[in-house]
Amino acid sequence: MNKFLSVVVLFLACKTGAFSQGGKNDFRQRTDSLKALGRNILGGKTDSARVASNEKFLLLMQETLNSPGSFEASFDSVTNVSRLTSHDNLLKVYTWTLPKVDMSSYTFFGIVQYYSGKKKLTVIRLEDVSPGIENPQSLKTNSENWFGAVYYDIIDGKKAGKKYYTLLGWKGNNRTTTKKVIDVMYFKKDSLMFGYPLFKSEKGYVNRVVFEYATEAVMSLRYESSKKMIVFDHLSDTGNNAAGPDGKYDAYKLVKGRWEFIKDVDVSKFSSK
């Protein structure tokens, strides 16, 4: 649990905002409740206690994000939630997970808050259906059949005049393996969509990229903005049917709106590993 908490807390960031005085008091009460419920989601002693806290948390979070002024507000005290703001400042993505006490499985939850035509604020809940998705690399999904993850970075981009948001996410799996994912979020008419063939891999174009590695291992997956690259550990078999980093690095480089796979990247030339 400590390992998971450190991963989530590390990437939590959001702009601060302003409410009216009365709104500030109401918002403070809401965030205090969310903060307490969030602690129970991750630290409840039974699965039923965690589920009950999450149900209350989800309803209160949706209600709060539908409130006037909420887009500009900060939720930095609600530490079980990752909060991302797109660079164009038109949308925010809130994601979190509900882990079982024994860490045998994880369920993911998400809410996207965005401005659509004429500055109308819209809030969409994401429904995680990961257990029923067999080939996530090949699927296009929407808010109702989301391949859930806790996102920790968002990259704005365009292809053929259409806007796409690339997301880097952590995806706990079970006691044996952990996953990370590179996904794409975009709008198709009024629908929020995920997955698009922006990734040119060694085997052709895929809609999203999924990594799976041994739970005890630590895999790096990060965006190097100066190089316009998503850089990640190369995974090799470490025995016991699990993969882990082998000291090499690969990357996806942004070329004309698409992410092209590059093998054996020299990370010593980057600002950090």
Whole-angstrom Cα distance, residue 14 to residue 85?
Answer: 7
Query: Which residues, other chains included, contact 183 with Cβ-Cβ below 8 Å and sequence gap of 6+?
Result: 147, 149, 166, 167, 169, 194, 195, 208
CB atoms within 10 A of CB 255: 11
Predicted pLDDT at 15: 32
Say how many domains are in the chain: 1
Write out the two tokens for 117: 């035509």
The Cα–Cα gap between 254 and 164 comes to 12
Q: Which domain holds residue 261?
A: 2-269
| pLDDT for 240 | 66
> What pLDDT sits at residue 158?
93
Q: Which amino acid is located at 16 in the chain?
A: T
Query: For the chain, which residues score pLDDT lower than 70?
Result: 1-23, 118, 239-241, 271-273
Distance in angstroms (rounded) separating the CA atoms of residues 186 and 184: 7
Read off φ and ψ for residue 153, nearest 5 degrees: -150, 150
Q: Any residues with CB less than 8 A from the CB of 162 and at least 6 apart, and which?
A: 186
**Residue 26: its pLDDT value, please?**
84
Q: What is the pLDDT of residues 102-153, one digit of tens each?
A: 999 999 999 999 987 767 899 999 999 999 999 999 999 999 999 999 999 9
Please give the DSSP secondary-structure letter assigned to residue 217: S
Closest CA to 67 of 24, 127, 32, 109: 24
What's the pLDDT score for residue 23? 62
Structure confidence at residue 12 (pLDDT): 37
Q: How far apart are CA 104 and CA 101, in angstroms?
A: 8
* Under 8 Å between Cβ of 229 and 190: no
Predicted local confidence at residue 273, as pLDDT: 44
